[in-house]
Structures are given as C-alpha cells and as structure tokens.
Amino acid sequence: MYSFEKISIEKNINSSYINQVIALFKNHHNSLIDDYYFCKEISLENELIAFIEKTFPHFYLIFLIENNQKIFIGFVYLYNWRGNNNYIHSCTLTTCFDKKYWGKHPVLAGKTFIKSLFDNYKLEKIKAEVFCHNFKVISLLKKMNFEKEATLKNETFKNGSMIDIDVYSVFNF
C-alpha cells in the first residue's frame, strides 16, 4: 500500500523528510531539471525548499506502507494547473523514486496516485514532460497508460546542448 503526504517546511508538515527529498533530488537531478532550473547564486537546498513551498499543497512525499511502517520511496509534485476556481481541466506532474524501489513500486504507486487525482480533482487530463532520452521514465509512463502527445523540438538546454522534451498524457475516460 502507498500513501501520499504533503510536505511544507514553513507549515512544519512532514518537514523531517526534507533531507531525504534533497538527497533524492540530488541523486536524480539529471533526469529532473534542465540548465535553467536553479539559480547558481543560491544553494540547491535553499532553492529546493523554496520550490516545495511554492508548489504547496501539491508537493507530495510517497511512502510505501509495509508492516505498519512508512518507508519514504519518492516524491511527486503537480504544477501547470489549467482551469479555474470551478473546474480544473488538467495539470502536469513530475515524480522521482529512490532507485532501490524502481520496478513495480513506481507503477503501482503511480496508478494509485493518478486515480486519486482523477477522483479528487475531477481532472480530464494529466501530463508529464520528459527528456526524450529518459527511456526509464517513458517506459514507466506507458505502463501507467500515458500516451505520447507531442515532441517539443529543441525545447530546452541540458548540459549545454538543446534537447527535445516529450509530452505524455493520460485521460480520465
């Protein structure tokens, strides 16, 4: 079983996990961010904390529940909300899992999270943007019934070179 819990350092919600989030982000930043993501003059830790607060309440810790214990296995955050106060049409998500939990856990947790988003927000669509060379995430998205919608050519810079970003979506049918 999986649980998804909000995090906020300012509101002291699951703030004891911030170091684990930072460590996971550092381990996987090459798959998560482009060359523009963070300001070079501010520490990665402070920038990430500010980002978590900015996305609150839509930055979630992912826990595996085994033998009545919560085990931190990753995070997911939502952004780029489309709609208005009465109706939310879509959002974009980004997720990251600790490498030792790759395999079945991202798929099972992902399907659970996607269902809860459709149920709770009545969304029509959930998107994910992924660097075109990130085959592990693309495979994960396909296992969760995401379909490729577009390739954004030369969309950003990564390690000083232009790269494409693929957009995958899953619909609430």
70: CATH:
3.40.630.30
Q: Mean pLDDT, to the nearest integer, of 116-129?
A: 96
**Residue 96, domain extent:** 2-171
| pLDDT for the residue numbered 45 | 86
| pLDDT for the residue numbered 39 | 58
| pLDDT for the residue numbered 7 | 97
Cβ-contact 62, 97 below 8 angstroms: yes
Sequence-separated (6 or more) residues with CB below 8 Å from residue 169:
90, 125, 126, 127, 128, 146, 147, 149
- Count of domains observed in the chain: 1
Over residues 25-44, the pLDDT tens digits come to 988 877 887 877 765 666 88
> pLDDT: is 85 or 153 the higher one?
153
Over residues 86-99, the pLDDT tens digits come to 999 999 999 999 99
